[in-house]
Structure 1
């Protein structure tokens, strides 16, 4: 008789597993990448159209929609053992709909410790404890090295744009804002919650901002947008930033801190 393994996800929801899940649907791009880096690519049966790493994954695995608009019939037809969601990426309605199909694990990430906890949870759920430990050790090593590097660097005032028309920025209570702080970037919208819309006009010109970061996702900012933004932050250096490094919280963190170091060295 199989023993039932009981685990909690990051919303403290109880999940009962009769056996290690073998058919996985991932509805979060950064979590898809993490699963593959844990050696679970062959167990993935469904991903979103935004799951772009590893690059071949969307050719090899069924696409079940986006992170907010899903084809539940496709997911059901895949007969998954578990569906992996995220509180920010996927709506409560999506989680509830997926629960009618099979077990659902929901992540909730605000700081690095949350990311490491998620990796540990996946290690436990999918019987990949050793692989999870390796990823965690790599991330912790990168953070330690980066903290030494950034220690004596000056604090810089920044704006981090995620969208255009309307203009939207990263505010407080986001993983992006947490990583900005680690980089000694003072987010001038730290007093705003989540992802506020802002107005850019002659009355909002800010000469105190040192750096403007235009994220590569979810809006794909390009070189031409740097000119659009420069007049509102005349003394700032406007940079196209790799959004995956600032918002992907799985195994991408093994690469993020080298990127942050390079970013700072090129300011």
Structure 2
């Protein structure tokens, strides 16, 4: 890269004299993507939630979470670029971090957005070949998965992300995009983003299954029993939140997980 201007997914223009070498990632799924693009050596800072690949948390500096960061610790790492996400990180955080170095912000709602992010990282970090290989693998996996589910019937589901209060995934979310890919009709798909709901609203929506995600709230079997005590009758399924909400290269693993999940819900 030489004297290059690139545009991130929220429309910010960034000018680079050379390829950024010292990277801080404040999004777990994007940390995994950067590793898979061959950029582990360039990663100098990650969040405490960056658990894939597992060894990173013992060899990289942890600079906080996705919402709360150690600003001075980040500054001392002298990054060339900080990778954020519109949903995971706050606007205030991005503004503060921009005082240190360029902050690249992704915005992933659709699978096409995911492909674009990988292409962008290929350009940004001079990993075009690696990015193209991953996009090719994801495109092949996507095509196969669509073929696998095309004859399955559509099932109405609710996808819970939080408790006290109950919150679910609605429209304009990556989770909703992946539910639709699986031929799951989101009964709260008319609501925007992550609405709060009541048990009465859940009963009225009448899903054929309820998904309790492992993140951001770590739902357990006991939480499902609580719903059943409220006289809610539909099957309750604990699902791997990483497969539904982690974008990047994680999507390739998600296809196999979805096949298993979809075979359980016919």
Corresponding position of 2:218: 220
CA contact (8 A) 2:10 2:107 kept: yes
Q: 1:5 — aligned with what?
A: 4
Q: 1:194 to 1:204 in 2, by over 3 A?
A: closer
Give the structure 2 partner of residue 253 of structure 1.
251
What are the superposed Cα offsets for residues 235-258 of structure 1, whole Å, 9 maximum, x if unpaired? 422111000110111100111111
Secondary structure of the structure 2 residue equivalent to 1:80: coil
TM-score computed with the length of structure 2 as normaliser: 0.96
Q: Is the 8 A contact 1:37 1:251 kept in 2?
A: yes
* CA 1:140–1:80: 2 relative to 1, 3 Å: same
Per the TM alignment, residue 230 of structure 1 is displaced from its structure 2 partner at its CA by 2.8
Distance 1:112 1:232 in 2: 36
1:196-215 to 2 correspondences below 5 Å: 196-201=195-200, 205-206=203-204, 208-215=206-213
- 8 Å CA contact 2:2–2:19 kept in 1: the answer is no
Structure 2 counterpart of 1:243 = 241
Q: Secondary structure at the match of 1:205?
A: helix
- Shift in Å, 1:10: 0.6
Report what 2:262 is aligned to.
264
Q: Which residue of structure 1 aligns with residue 85 of structure 2?
A: 86
Contact map agreement 1:80 1:102 (CA 8 A) in 2: yes
Distance 1:207 1:99, change over 3 A: closer
Segments of 5+ residues of structure 2 without an aligned counterpart are none
Alpha-carbon distance change, 59 to 168 in structure 1, aligned in 2, over 3 angstroms: same
> Alpha-carbon deviation of 1:234?
3.8
Matched ranges for 1:74-113 at <5 A: 74-113=73-112
Deviation at 1:193, TM superposition (A): 0.8
SS of the counterpart of 2:199? coil
Q: Are the counterparts in 2 of residues 206 and 232 from structure 1 also a CA contact under 8 Å?
A: no
Q: Which residue of 2 aligns with 1:122?
A: 121
Give structure 1 regions of 4+ aligned residues with deviation exceeding 3 angstroms.
231-235
C-alpha deviation, 1:16, in angstroms = 0.8
Inter-partner Cα distance in structure 2 for 1:221 and 1:195 = 16
Q: 1:143 maps to what in 2? A: 142
Say if 2:178 and 2:244, in contact at 8 Å, map to a contact too: yes
- Report the counterpart of residue 228 of structure 2 in structure 1: 230
Contact persistence 1:210–1:235 (CA under 8 A): no
Cα distance in 2, alignment partners of residues 232 and 209 from structure 1: 15
In the TM superposition, residue 200 of structure 1 has moved relative to its aligned partner by: 1.7
Unaligned runs of 5+ in 1: none
CA RMSD of superposed structures (Å): 1.5
Contact 2:3 2:15 in 1 (8 A): yes
Residue by residue over 1:2-27, the C-alpha shift from the partner in whole angstroms, topping out at 9 and shown as x without a partner, is 93111111112111111111100000
SS of 1:191 mapped into structure 2: coil
Indicate yes or no: 2:170 matched with 1:171. yes
CA drift of 1:41 comes to 0.7
Q: Distance in 2 between matches of 1:165 and 1:3?
A: 50
Deviation at 1:205, TM superposition (A): 2.7
